[in-house]
Structure 1
Amino acid sequence: MLVFDAGKTGCRMGLWVDGDRVGHGEAPGASGIADPGGVDQALSRMAQATDASGSSHPCPGRPVDTVVAGLAGLLSAAEHAPLLRAGLAARYPGAEVIVTSDAITSHAGALSGQAGVVLAAGTGVSVLAVTADGTYSLVDGWGYLLGDAGSGYAIGRAGLDEALRQADGRGGSPVLLDRTVARWGDPRRVPRTVHASENPARVVASFARDVFAAARSGDDASQKICDEAARELALSVAAAVRIAHLDPPVQLATTGGLLNAGPVLTDPLDRHLDQMLPGISRRPADGDALSGGYLIAADPDLPHRRMLSCGHDEGDVR
């Protein structure tokens, strides 16, 4: 079985043989399924991730029987699922192809297929709550132009705003301006760097690391950015729990690289969560999106099965 986790920051592939994870490959992320050429780019990235594992055919002498792909943005762009399935089916003839959102595979992996809520926070942000009977609610995941509140992109964008305001003499943060110059040189070059990139959201999100470092050093503007991002993340979690009618105690797992920032972000996040959802328990994920994709394919009884688009089932990826 091949499982893909195709996000905006990176695309990963995992290979399972007889229930054991035996292979891994990585490629750059895709800009977005709904973007012009987004489906072709996602298929290309998944092919690159497979090739990076060391072979264009991941298991020589043995056909691939199942392909699972979790893709960023698919819950909001379900109409692209048939094209994605067709592209993967052409590359792996005879395989059952299951296509869904990376929010769903992340949820299944993070909570080992159980009910609860998962905050997926990286370049973008989505919060998915799933009940035991398969009812679900998705909050945010709108993409960097329309949403992704509290995301790496949002933090990086707010940090760059502070830096460029300082460069213009409109206030802002001298610390973040210094970090912008150290990263990219003349601030006037930043727009060209961002807009010329194949993945502008990822370039902007990369500046979140500088915001975190500045916040740790005591920069007031950066600390405020982190607190506001944490509040937005907590608001999204609270909304997902409310809409799905999850009964307490609610399990909350977090995935994605954003919370690796540590206490500068997690401390205000926990404070806001406690205010909005007293008693909620935040914990690290049990597994990743790749393991979640494997669980979904291997266990037809998981509540996540109703949120799939595949060759043999009439799933729902809306």
Structure 2
Amino acid sequence: MGALFVGVDGGGTSTRCVVVTESGEIAGRGRAGGANAISVPDPAANLRAALLGALEGLDRARVAGGVFGLAGAARAAESAERAWREAGLAGRPAVVADVLVAFTGATDQPDGAVLVAGTGAIGARVRDRRIVRRADGLGWLLGDEGSGVWLGRRAAAAALNAIDGRGAPTVLVARVAEAVLGAGAAGDDDGPALTQALVAAVYARVAESGPAWLGTLAPVVDAAAREGDEVARGIVAEAARRLCRTARVVTGEGPRERGTQAKGGPDQMGAGPLVLAGSLLTEPTELAHLVRAELGRRAVLVRARDNAAGAAALAVRAALPGDPRAAEAHRVLIGQEVA
């Protein structure tokens, strides 16, 4: 029996795991809740659950290595190693940035860039399958501009502003109230009582589920924008502007590079593919439409596929450095249909 390799993609709201053969065939899949240490109380438990699901029915002694794509290096490594041990696996996994496995899960090219907008948001420049530059990814409180959490916070704020008169009228009042409080919550009363109810419910949800819960409001604002609500359209347009700025920074067109030359020569947008990852950019959202329209004029855009498969591809490449079989396994993995 041949060796098996593990690939894990731990996001803010879900964790996916695949176990693969050295030829790139999927032997097992597992899924669990989020594994971002910033927004999830016990990421190791979800990592373990995803691992156990993918390993079900397989001989764990055959596992020869693994790569975890996670946000936050030091703390994430501790969670990954704990989950690995508790799953009964020998050795220890390699831990890389989640943004890197998004890139390797979409292309077998060694160089390029990636822009992620899901629960969080980050951009990165990749060279020789290593992150050499990044922008944002600072978490819900200090950054993640254009992310699902960013959109959710602004949707809730816009609804509250409209209620007390600080902002323009918007359908987000009723939509956010329904999402947070239940159907018909707005009713005929859009005054102080509704404000208090919304504020209390939002804070309670965040306290209970973590800041990632705010991302559940992202589809609300995106749908309102597609329907033509001006306030929602403004929020989504601003998210697109911020995401495009992040992409330009990591591809050498943004403010960070003005008047300077990056070490190793300037990076030009289009030097390698720009991978768009995260549900807000890979699903048919209004945000994805705006970002693609802007960035597609200067870059070859590639849609992310299976980040966990990208992590597994890195594990195979690490075990078989320079071996053509690893490159072939990588191509097979990114061609697999996502379950």
- Partners of 1:174 and 1:133 lie apart in 2 by 45
In structure 1, which of residues 197, 201, 215 is the aligned counterpart of residue 208 of structure 2?
197
Q: Which position in structure 2 is the counterpart of 1:213?
A: 223
Q: Given the superposition, is the C-alpha separation of residues 246 and 109 from structure 1 closer, same or farther in structure 2, using an over 3 Å criterion?
A: farther
Q: When the two structures are aligned, how many residues end up with a matched partner?
A: 287
- Partners of 1:133 and 1:211 lie apart in 2 by 35
In structure 2, which of residues 291, 294, 301 is the aligned counterpart of residue 269 of structure 1?
291
Q: Given the superposition, is the C-alpha separation of residues 193 and 133 from structure 1 closer, same or farther in structure 2, using an over 3 Å criterion?
A: closer
Query: Structure 1 vs Structure 2: percent identity of aligned residues?
Result: 27
Q: Which position in structure 1 is the counterpart of 2:267?
A: 246
Does residue 17 (structure 1) correspond to residue 12 (structure 2)? The answer is no
- Partners of 1:133 and 1:51 lie apart in 2 by 28
Does residue 293 (structure 1) correspond to residue 311 (structure 2)? The answer is yes
Bigger Cα Rg: 2
> Deviation of residue 178 (structure 1)?
0.4
Q: Which runs of 5+ in 2 are unaligned?
A: 182-196, 323-339
1:123/1:151 contact within 8 Å kept:
yes
- Partners of 2:235 and 2:49 lie apart in 1 by 36
> Deviation of residue 169 (structure 1)?
3.0
1:84/1:99 contact within 8 Å kept:
no
In structure 2, which of residues 287, 292, 298 is the aligned counterpart of residue 279 of structure 1?
298
1:107/1:128 contact within 8 Å kept:
no
Q: Given the superposition, is the C-alpha separation of residues 290 and 222 from structure 1 closer, same or farther in structure 2, using an over 3 Å criterion?
A: same
So what's the TM-score if we normalise by structure 1? 0.81
- Greater shift, 82-91 or 215-224, is seen at 82-91
2:10/2:47 contact within 8 Å kept:
yes
Q: Which position in structure 2 is the counterpart of 1:230?
A: 240
RMSD value, Cα: 2.6
- Partners of 1:31 and 1:96 lie apart in 2 by 19
In structure 2, which of residues 141, 157, 162 is the aligned counterpart of residue 161 of structure 1?
157
SS in 2 for 1:110: coil
- Partners of 1:22 and 1:107 lie apart in 2 by 22
Q: Which position in structure 2 is the counterpart of 1:305?
A: none
> Deviation of residue 248 (structure 1)?
5.4
In structure 2, which of residues 72, 85, 94 is the aligned counterpart of residue 90 of structure 1?
85
- Partners of 2:201 and 2:279 lie apart in 1 by 24
- Partners of 1:83 and 1:61 lie apart in 2 by 21
1:24/1:53 contact within 8 Å kept:
yes
Question: CA-to-partner distance for each residue in 1:254-286, whole Å, 9 max, x for gaps?
Answer: 111012453622332234336xxx53222313x
Q: Which runs of 5+ in 1 are unaligned?
A: 303-318
Does residue 67 (structure 1) correspond to residue 66 (structure 2)? The answer is yes
